[in-house]
Amino acid sequence: AQSVTQLDSQVPVFEEAPVELRCNYSSSVSVYLFWYVQYPNQGLQLLLKYLSGSTLVKGINGFEAEFNKSQTSFHLRKPSVHISDTAEYFCAVSDTQGGSEKLVFGKGTKLTVNP
Amino acid sequence: DGGITQSPKYLFRKEGQNVTLSCEQNLNHDAMYWYRQDPGQGLRLIYYSQIVNDFQKGDIAEGYSVSREKKESFPLTVTSAQKNPTAFYLCASRRAWGEQFFGPGTRLTVL
């Protein structure tokens, strides 16, 4: 079964600094990959997704992620963060061979942007 | 605009009570999901349904029940058998390629 590891549970950064949130998944079979953001007491919102094609994926709010098949990673990056980026971020993987019925989520990374 | 509505936003339950959380979507999606979220635990799948009148258990189905009588609706009942129900509950529906679209959530607290 697929599993997703988000290597950092909390990441504090200063405003305008770059940030990378790390995500590794367990299986090298064909997958779809997603990053979601959750603000306090709200649902999850899709930031970006990798389905196929270019390994560099751009999303909303200036975020991007790079799919690395050999390292089974899908790290999220932003070159300059804002206070408003403070939120929890979840990486998720869907197994295409399983018909993409379910998403497997990591445990989340809390990003705190300090002034 | 299409979306998912969950109600109520906050729900309080006394010990031994069953409570039902509502989830409605107007996205015309076939598949719907219920997740439970606890701090530091990520999202855990309770039940999912791929089509009307059919549903499957997820990873933590014990103490919960669902129904899927209409495409638009997927209510979750938290029964008295669920010993630790205090959590944030999220409903989702599935778009193409496995992508899921989430509702705003219901926070359940046991008094």
| Residues of B with Cβ-Cβ distance to A107 under 8 angstroms | 40-42
* Distance in Å, alpha carbon of B102 to nearest chain A alpha carbon: 6
Q: How confident is the model at residue A48 (pLDDT cuts 50, 70, 90)?
A: very high
Å from A102 to nearest chain B CA? 7
- Specify the DSSP element, H or E, that contains A50: strand A44-50
pLDDT digits (tens, 9 = 90+) for B50-91: 999 999 999 999 999 999 999 999 999 999 999 899 999 999
A94 with B103: Cβ contact below 8 A? no
State whether residue B42 sits within 8 Å of chain A by CB: yes
pLDDT digits over B6-61, tens only?
Answer: 999 999 988 889 999 999 999 999 999 999 999 888 899 999 999 999 999 999 99
Contact between A38 and A44 (Cβ < 8 Å)? yes
For chains A and B, count residue pairs whose Cβ atoms are closer than 8 Å: 57
Round to the nearest angstrom and report the end-to-end CA distance of chain B.
36
